[in-house]
Structure 1
Amino acid sequence: MSERRSEPAERGEAGVNPDKMPRTERGRRTLQKLLDAAAAEFGERGFHDASISAITRRAGTALGSFYTYFDSKEEIFQALVRYMSEQLRDHVTPLVQAAPDEIGAERVGLESFLGFVREHKEIYRIIDEAEFVDYASYRRHYETTVERIRQRLEAGAARGDIRADAGEVHAWAIAGMNVFLGMRYGLWDESADIADVADVANDLLANGLKKRD
């Protein structure tokens, strides 16, 4: 059985220790290069085979720059999970907020998620490995994702867009559907039209599996 780490210390933007957050634009660019390089390194090689030196080579930065922001490989991995979760949130949120109603919001949310996965396939390997490398980050990723869905459902119910009892269980069900559709049509198969996939899933969400007349 793998050891599951305790809850990490509170982190700032992109999961970086607040004491190590860059104060300049140049520093912020360097930090982003390191995180993007870490995403590529962990995504291709996995946590255990990845190395700090390989991350800095990919980033085109000096090894010393790494330690300006992170103390270890574990720490940048932890920050990367938060960073990728925030990237996904920032990609999806403006689109769902512009939707005309809650059913439409869930449709565009899924479609934009599928598009994100196709552009960032490494997210699945990184999040899956987080279960064993840093369980607190793994759990936080899914809990914060579901909480955003739950809040959307609650707002949609208050507007009268959807059933009044929509809540946490419904939010977890939607998240589970999205995760597996992302795996099938974002990660494994790029031939499908993601708009069509989102239409089918959204019809299921809106109308269920009841036989139609």
Structure 2
Amino acid sequence: MAEQEAKNGPKTPLTSKGVKTRQKLLEVAEEVFGTKGYFAAGIVDITQQADIAQGTFYNYFSSKYEIFAELIKQLSRDFRSQIRMEVAKAKNHREAQQIGFNVFFKWVKNHRNLYSIVQQAVLVDESLYRSYYERLAKGYIKGLEEAMGKGEFKELHAETVAYCLMGIGQFIGMRWVYWEGEDVPEQVFADAMTLVFEGIAKT
């Protein structure tokens, strides 16, 4: 069971000011959970850093778990929205894959706590962790099936390919962007794309 520390009650309707306050809490929560960790962090850490009264927090979220869960959902939603917008510019599915990797690496650079937060979800609520990746995979699978249907990619099991590609992006992003705090080197990106589209075996 996920941690429960709720204070039940009606939440403030999301007026324009309310939307801004709620978003500020989420942005600060991203920093707090990313640096302190879910179990060490408290609601007071979030409200103090956001300069918002602790009582106001409960107008928007009923518990620490709720804001953590919403943060993961928002990060996933915003990232997938960015991917869709950028990939729409691609001339073909191969270019779409390259754009997708680049968008992910840029996203990680601007949201470096993403790795830490998503990994924490395994211990907080495994369903959050699984859902995060399943949502990403769903978009990947759709694009891959379209590419296979058009004859641009080999007809392979789309879900298998999706998770393989996600793994490549995940670990390259972790190695260079998350650990080193830099852009993925051009040669690294080029070699990764060669691996994706041509494999590693000599022909």
What TM-score results when the alignment is normalised by the length of structure 1? 0.85
Q: Does 1:143 align with 2:134?
A: yes
Q: 1:93 aligns with which of 71, 77, 84?
A: 84
Distance 1:87 1:190, change over 3 A: same
Question: Structure 1: which 5+ residue stretches go unaligned?
Answer: 6-18
CA distance in 1, matches of 2:125, 2:71: 11
Are 1:23 and 2:14 matched, yes or no? Answer: yes
After superposition, the Cα gap between the structure-2 partners of 1:75 and 1:142, relative to the gap in structure 1 and judged at 3 Å, is same
Q: 1:79-101: per-residue Cα shift (whole Å, max 9, x none)?
A: 11111111221222211221111
| Shift, 1:23, TM fit | 2.9
Q: Partner of 1:172 in structure 2?
A: 163
Q: Does 1:161 align with 2:161?
A: no
Letter in 2 for 1:126: I
Instruction: Report the equivalent of 2:28.
Output: 37
Residue 200 of structure 2 is aligned to residue 209 of structure 1: yes
Q: Which residue of 2 aligns with 1:59?
A: 50
CA RMSD of aligned residues (A): 2.0
Change (3 A) 1:179 1:208: same
Structure 1 residues 126 and 191: alpha-carbon distance in aligned structure 2, compared to 1, 3 A threshold: closer
1:132 corresponding residue in structure 2: 123
Residue 184 of structure 1 pairs with residue 175 of structure 2: yes
Stretch deviating more after TM superposition (107-116 or 195-204): 195-204
Q: Which residue of 1 aligns with 2:5?
A: none
Identify if the C-alpha distance between structure 1 residues 194 and 96 changes in structure 2 by more than 3 Å, giving closer, same or farther: farther
Over 3 Å counting, the alpha-carbon distance change for 1:21 and 1:207 in structure 2 is farther
- 1:115 and 1:194 map into 2 onto residues whose CA distance is 12
Secondary structure of 2:108's match?
helix
Counterpart-to-counterpart distance in 2, 1:70 and 1:143: 25
Deviation at 1:166, TM superposition (A): 4.8
Change (3 A) 1:132 1:100: same
CA distance in 1, matches of 2:157, 2:87: 17
Q: Secondary structure of the equivalent of 1:77?
A: helix
Letter in 2 for 1:38: A
Q: Larger deviation: 28-37 or 193-202?
A: 193-202
In structure 2, give the amino acid aligned to 1:77. Answer: F
* Alignment gaps of 5+ in structure 2: 3-9
| TM-score, normalised relative to structure 2 | 0.89
Indicate the structure with greater helix content. 1
Q: Which amino acid aligns with 1:56?
A: T
Matched residues, number? 197
Aligned-pair identity (%): 33
Paired residue type of 1:188:
W
CA positional deviation for 1:191:
4.2
> What is the rounded CA distance, in whole Å, between the counterparts of 1:136 and 1:193 in structure 2?
30
- Residue 72 of structure 1: aligned partner: 63
Shift of 1:131: 0.5
Question: Relative to 1, partners in 2 of residues 1:100 and 1:73: Cα closer, same or farther, differing over 3 Å?
Answer: same
Report if the CA contact (8 A) 1:130-1:138 is conserved: yes
Q: Note the alpha carbon deviations across 1:134-170, whole angstroms, 9 max, x for none.
A: 1111110011111111111011112222123351111
Give the 3-state SS of the residue equivalent to 1:68 in structure 2.
Answer: coil
SS of 1:49's equivalent?
coil
Which residue does 1:8 correspond to in 2? none
